[in-house]
Amino acid sequence: MWKVTEDVLLPIATGAGILGTGGGGNPYIGQLRARQAIRKHGPVTVLSPEELPDDARVVCVGGIGAPTVGIEKVRDLQSYYALRAIEDYTGEKATALISNEIGGSNSVEPLIPAAMAGLPVVDADGMGRAFPEFQMKTFFVYGVPCCPMAVADEKGNSVIIRETITPYWAERLARATTVQMGCVACYAVAPMTAEQVRRTAIPNTLSLARDLGAAVQLAQANGDDPLEAILATCPGRILFSGKVVDLDRRTTAGFARGSVTIDGLDSFGGKRMVIDFQNENLIARLDGTIVCTVPDLICAVATDLGEPVTTELMRYGLRVTILAFPAPALWTTPEGLATAGPGAFGYETDYIPLEL
């Protein structure tokens, strides 16, 4: 058990921005919104899955929409509205909240309604990274119902999706609703049990984000290499380092889609990396050869500072280093790969686990 106070928000946002593989919403905006809620309502208690009471009712909350829109149309209290809407519909009160993903602003999204409602959050999430689509959660892959769910906007509108035939259909209906809400909304899913959380969630991800961000801050303060600090905290490897020379980014159907081209510098001089993204980085090609794919994490950070560079902030001329981390084990099963492997995004390539 630990508490999220104002001074912990920056390292959480920095670490979650790295783990978010380019997506999950802008981490800076997310931490500002969470800081406002904590400043007004007080710190939020964080519980490990094992610390949950057996009769806990855990609601997953998160943001949905295009990150490119989220930096212009900043979310307000949608996650709180969505929480209240699902509680009213199901007749069950949440006893704890959990993040849908440990990426970007979505990592701190549960802190806002948690602070307002006086609830704890769970040190876990449904992805261990960020993914662009609602159905891409370990909760649903391993049998937790995806509906009913509530989708809410900043105006106070809320929509209940009572039942769908598959989690994919929940994504389609929620995405269509989000587009009508201006491409930025929040959602809440009917409560899970403590057993379901322990069995299907990726554990200890909020504390991992905190520790990653703290490692980056300490390295910056001491003049050390922040990239080494990141890899010492979360084992992975450097895929590439260079300068952004081309960017194709468009907002369509509620997603930010496109690719970024990076020309190598220093030891990567003369080489080129192209990364495809759909909100999050999906496929990395080095000189035309695929070197990393989802569900492994492909993360862009500023080369000098080690701070995350999300897809909506990527631009020409940035010096970035591409880090890769192995996917959580729950994603590398046949069931996990069917939901969030390369084929789920339309790529005709097999998943090849990252070698460290």
CATH placement of domain 235-345: 2.40.390.10
d(C-alpha 158, C-alpha 184), whole Å: 13
Percent of residues in the chain assigned helix, strand, coil, to nearest 5: 35, 30, 35
Under 8 Å CB-to-CB from 294, ≥6 apart: which residues?
131, 280, 282, 283, 327, 340, 341, 342, 344, 345, 351
Correct CATH for 2-203 of 3.90.70.10, 1.20.1600.10, 2.40.50.140, 3.40.1610.10? 3.40.1610.10
CB atoms within 10 A of CB 221: 8
Question: Which residues are 260's β-sheet partners?
Answer: 247, 275
For the chain, give every domain's residue range.
2-203, 235-345
Q: How many percent of the chain have pLDDT more than 90?
A: 84
pTM of the full structure:
0.93
Cα 161 from chain centroid (whole Å) = 22
Average pLDDT for the chain: 94
Peptide bond preceding 295 in cis form (omega within 30 of 0):
yes
Calculate the dihedral angle through the C-alpha atoms of 298, 302, 306, 308, rounding to the nearest 10 degrees. Answer: -60
Using an 8 Å Cβ cutoff, are 356 and 237 in contact? Answer: yes
Query: Six-digit token pair at 178?
Result: 């989000």
161-189: pLDDT as tens digits: 999 999 999 999 999 999 999 988 999 99
49 pLDDT higher than 80: yes
The answer to whether domain 2-203 and domain 235-345 are alike in fold is no
For residue 148, the SS3 value is coil
287 pLDDT higher than 90: yes
